[in-house]
Chain A
């Protein structure tokens, strides 16, 4: 077991390195470096630009050094000092801008994932034990729509429908009273009902996908001979279902966490822009628009790293649950 975990962790390291290189390239992509845009920004707002300040910043970000040195300094600052650079738009360290929003993004994505599992697996099991029943068709139809229509369109349509029917604006995550308030239990409680809508929208396509997969896996299992044998021996339907096929069918689903999580985070980015949630999406878009690249790059870096770690965790979880993987070793 330990050797398997060790092996998986070792695999992750080059992946993380490659991600950091890609993000660094993204940061460098816009024409001109970040300092030029920063100085332009200052000049536009009518500030005096001090030569010594430019010099300072140049040496701080090693902009006078070759690119690979810039990369190493950027990485060193992140790894040793958790310093992701400066957002020139907010005139604050990136980590200060990101923190709270990242937490909310992760919270919403994680809650969505739990909700997806809680809803999709029972429905998938039901659909597989009642194939081609009216309910099965109904779930398939909902699934089709959920898979086909992206979250941001559903969000737009939902905002309009709710507003035109009730006059309530469902955008934002806090009611006005709490919008600027510091964090407290009351603020969190205020958020809970408002989180339902983003969670439902973000989770819809995932739910649809998982229902499909569960149903397919279950149908495969149910047609196997051991099920027939068990039934012939007089095992109760309930035990017959839950004891073996469900456990076998659900097992591989855990490995889907790996690709569900990035999809959720990805979907959250754009849904949150439409719903105007105080998460990473709107600020990432804004940062990209004004080419506040350290801010934008850091978002992508952190979201990717969290995704990789999530996948790693799900792989380890799968190994704990499934001895075949544990002893099969490297193939995963």
Chain B
């Protein structure tokens, strides 16, 4: 045991340490599952995100049931249909479960056609009810659109935004922090003051101002890219600090001197010799930055400054749940919040586990 420990590679040691962090070990597969859901949302969602079921506006979630009214157990789950009632005084329409109508849920149901991965045409959905009857596991919004399907489709933007935003932040952070730490001197001073400057402006108001400046005429893709640029322009400071601190100490090491004497270029020394010695820290910092970025997009879209409807992201969906009236009458509109919280918590657990693993020699 101890021998294998001594001869193990660094990555192997990290994996060992990582395995000890229970929560992180659970978080990793769950996150993969979430991302797979986003990729295959067309297949997994029973409805299309933009289909309006005009007869079922603001209908509450249907419960997936196994036991019916008479207490009989069904192996195949089913949902009850809706019964609409109109309040005589307020004229509000409310829906209740209609136990007279039962719709069994089938696997691989044919429904509306969609494009899997953007190019494979299909009309098979993982599950659904037959003959175009409604299946709203998390209720519908005010236009009668299926919230569950919209959340699945929305995860595409919300989840990918975290990755893409952090990728660009990583580029900025590593390059600027690298220059700052490696060259030192006045370059370092200028960059450090720039970081001080960015940190002293309250982040969310700054995000809001920059996001509001994106032209309203832009398409969703342009807005998405624009917001990624905004986030990374503000967010690189933390990463740059990590990179700078590490480089400041590493550049004094003998192996750096050796590389310099052998005539290696600055870029080669930084990227080939210095960066690899703290990859693990970069990975940890990056993982921790993903949930922040996801939340940033959510917050801005929630405020109406980010991704705009008809595109769906979790923030756009939450926008419907902004007022007390809607919260009081349609509390199921808060479902996207549950997905956001879950994702963010999972990323934090993962990051925590990675941090423990980052320094396996401790």
Contact = CB atoms under 8 A, between A and B. Distances in A.
A217 interface: no
B267 interface: no
B324 A22 contact: no
Given A18-B197, A160-B331, A262-B203, A300 B212 contact: no
Interface in A1-30: 14-15, 18-19, 22, 26, 29-30
Interface string B322-358: 1010011001001001001100110010000000000
Interface stretch (B69-77, B90-98, B162-170, B300-308): B300-308
B197 to A, nearest CB: 5
A266 B304 contact: no
A203 to B, nearest CB: 16
SS class, residues of chain B in contact with chain A = helix
A144 B299 contact: no
Given A152-B302, A156-B327, A300 B200 contact: no
Contact of B327 (A31, A160, A266, A273): A160
B205 interface: yes
Contacts of B305: 285, 288-289
Contact of A300 (B193, B201, B324): B201
Interface in B235-254: none
Interface residues of B, number: 39
Most chain A CB within a 10 A radius of its CB, from B196, B318, B322: B196
Q: Is the interface of A mostly helix, strand, loop or mixed?
A: helix
Contact of A303 (B202, B337, B344): B202
B324 A163 contact: yes
Nearest to A304: B201
B337 A22 contact: no
Given A156-B337, A300-B209, A164 B200 contact: no
A299 interface: yes
B344 A300 contact: no
A147 B347 CA distance: 12
Contacts of A147: 348
Nearest to B295: A150
Given A148-B348, A153-B337, A303-B202, A26 B331 contact: no
A145 B201 CA distance: 26
Contacts of B334: 156-157, 160
B193 A22 contact: no
Contacts of B304: 285, 289
Contact of A157 (B204, B209, B337, B345): B337
A210 interface: no
A164 B212 CA distance: 34
Instruction: List the 10 shortest-distance A-B pairs measured between CB atoms, nearest first.
Output: A288-B212, A29-B213, A266-B202, A266-B204, A304-B201, A160-B327, A265-B202, A266-B203, A148-B348, A26-B209
Given A163-B327, A265-B205, 4 more contacts: A15-B197, A148-B291, A149-B344, A267-B204
28 contacts: A18-B197, A19-B197, A144-B348, A148-B291, A148-B341, A150-B295, A150-B298, A150-B299, A152-B302, A156-B334, A157-B334, A159-B324, A160-B327, A164-B331, A262-B199, A262-B203, A265-B205, A266-B205, A269-B204, A280-B205, A284-B208, A288-B209, A300-B202, A303-B202, A303-B205, A304-B202, A307-B201, A308-B200
